[in-house]
């Protein structure tokens, strides 16, 4: 991809031509995207072992081991042969030095993790320094050999300390929403593997995907302990897909009033789960905040300082800003207009995370294995 594509790009596709100007909702509220004017290439994401397809994207909340506070951490879903569900690396990118440091390079075979290692978008780093990452593994790059996977707990040096696997965990898929109090933390993780295989013909949709709440106790200097697990939502669509491995709920973000927001990719909507931290039963698919419109298979999602949601589209190169209170889709910006895909940017966007300044955001372009800063 030419570097010219990393500048601010036209935002509407009309009559086959890219035209300047943001896509706006009526009665527009102030937001983040109108202030985004530059898209700056930060780094190629490919580590020494050749892993590809960066998925998770997080900001280090503390300095620990080789990781500095404010560093960008990401993992890779594909190996050097570009087989999905086989990536094994977690990499640290320092925005100041531009240096890449491989924090973890795991073996594909990991005892206690059904199916092995294929690192997904489900990753976080806690204030205590522990890294928790999901595995949605495959042996041949397809869901035909998919395993249930697990959640892996690593120290800041990348050493595996614990593997979490049980009946509630089946292909941790979406980016985690996290409430971290230091000695305790609550994780929200979407699971997209229940029932999904790789049959001949058109893969069926299974309405079995869940969102799991995991409560952790984190004694000082000790490995986090799971104190409880609760399925807080379920019944979302999930489907095997040759080009993207799985389609299921991907983006998770916590909002005010103990609300959890989830991007329902197959439902093409954003869902709201109320009483996220206290509920003892599943809310099902929750309340629809917004649907269709500018959304086109919503994937990764993050909460802005204004309390809005930024959502990347899986079927075009847009990011959409949503006010979850009113349900209005406020803006869309075409951040990847690579015409090698139809529509431009189709399948390129995935991970997204806010910059520590609260005014910018990082995102990955999977097709060219890069991290970009939107500012």
Query: Could you give the CA distance from residue 72 to residue 316 in angstroms, rounded to a whole number?
Result: 25
pLDDT at 1: 33
pLDDT at 8: 35
Query: Could you give the CA distance from residue 143 to residue 83 in angstroms, rounded to a whole number?
Result: 11
pLDDT at 60: 98
Provide the 3-class DSSP secondary structure of residue 90.
strand
Torsion, Cα of 159, 353, 10, 344 (10° steps) = 40
Residue with tokens 């869902």: 271
What is the separation, in whole angstroms, between the first and last Cα of the chain?
20
**Beta-carbon contacts of residue 28 (< 8 Å; ≥ 6 apart):** 330, 331
Query: Could you give the CA distance from residue 108 to residue 114 in angstroms, rounded to a whole number?
Result: 11
pLDDT at 262: 98
Query: Could you give the CA distance from residue 358 to residue 365 in angstroms, rounded to a whole number?
Result: 21
pLDDT at 21: 39
Query: Could you give the CA distance from residue 225 to residue 279 in angstroms, rounded to a whole number?
Result: 21
Q: What is the pTM of this model?
A: 0.92
Q: Which domains does the chain have, with CATH numbers?
A: 3-193+205-374 (2.120.10.30)
Please give the average pLDDT of every successive group of 10 residues along the chain, which has 375 residues. 34 32 53 96 97 97 98 98 97 97 97 97 98 97 96 98 98 96 98 84 92 97 97 97 93 97 98 98 98 98 97 97 97 92 90 97 95 98
**Six-digit token string for 153:** 């707990």
Name the region of 326 (left: φ>0; alpha: ψ -120 to 50; beta: rest): alpha
Q: Are 329 and 313 in contact (CB under 8 A)?
A: no
pLDDT at 29: 59
């Amino acid at each position: 991809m030419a570097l010219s594509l990393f500048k601010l790009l036209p935002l509407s596709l009309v009559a086959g031509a890219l035209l300047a100007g943001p896509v706006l909702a009526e009665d527009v509220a102030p937001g983040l995207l109108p202030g985004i004017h530059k898209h700056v290439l930060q780094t190629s994401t490919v580590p020494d072992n050749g892993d590809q397809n960066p998925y998770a994207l997080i900001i280090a909340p503390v300095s620990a081991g080789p990781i500095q506070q404010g560093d960008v951490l990401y993992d890779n879903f594909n190996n050097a042969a570009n087989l999905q569900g086989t990536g094994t690396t977690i990499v640290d990118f320092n925005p100041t030095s531009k240096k890449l440091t491989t924090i973890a390079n795991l073996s594909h075979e990991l005892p206690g993790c059904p199916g092995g290692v294929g690192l997904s978008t489900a990753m976080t780093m806690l204030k205590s320094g522990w890294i928790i990452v999901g595995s949605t593994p495959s042996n041949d790059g397809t869901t035909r050999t998919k395993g249930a996977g697990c959640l892996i707990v690593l120290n800041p040096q990348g050493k595996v300390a614990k593997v979490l696997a049980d009946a509630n965990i089946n292909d941790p898929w979406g980016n985690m929403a996290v409430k971290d109090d230091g000695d305790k933390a609550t994780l929200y993780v979407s699971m997209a593997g229940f029932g999904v295989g790789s049959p001949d013909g058109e893969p069926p949709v299974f309405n079995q995907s869940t969102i799991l709440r995991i409560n952790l106790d984190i004694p000082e200097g000790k490995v986090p302990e799971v104190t409880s697990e609760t399925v807080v939502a379920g019944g979302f669509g999930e489907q095997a897909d040759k080009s993207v491995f799985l389609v299921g709920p991907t983006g998770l973000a916590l909002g005010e009033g103990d609300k959890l927001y989830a991007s329902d990719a197959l439902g093409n909507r954003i869902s709201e789960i109320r009483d996220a931290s206290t509920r003892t039963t599943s809310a099902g698919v929750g309340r629809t905040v917004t649907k269709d419109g500018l959304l086109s298979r919503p994937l990764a999602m993050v909460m802005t300082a204004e309390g809005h949601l930024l959502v990347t589209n899986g079927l075009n190169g847009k990011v959409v800003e949503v006010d979850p209170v009113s349900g209005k889709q406020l803006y869309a910006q075409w951040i990847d207009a690579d015409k090698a895909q139809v529509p431009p940017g189709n399948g390129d966007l995935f991970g997204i995370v806010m910059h520590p300044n609260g005014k910018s955001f990082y995102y990955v372009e999977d097709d060219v294995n890069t991290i970009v800063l939107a500012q």
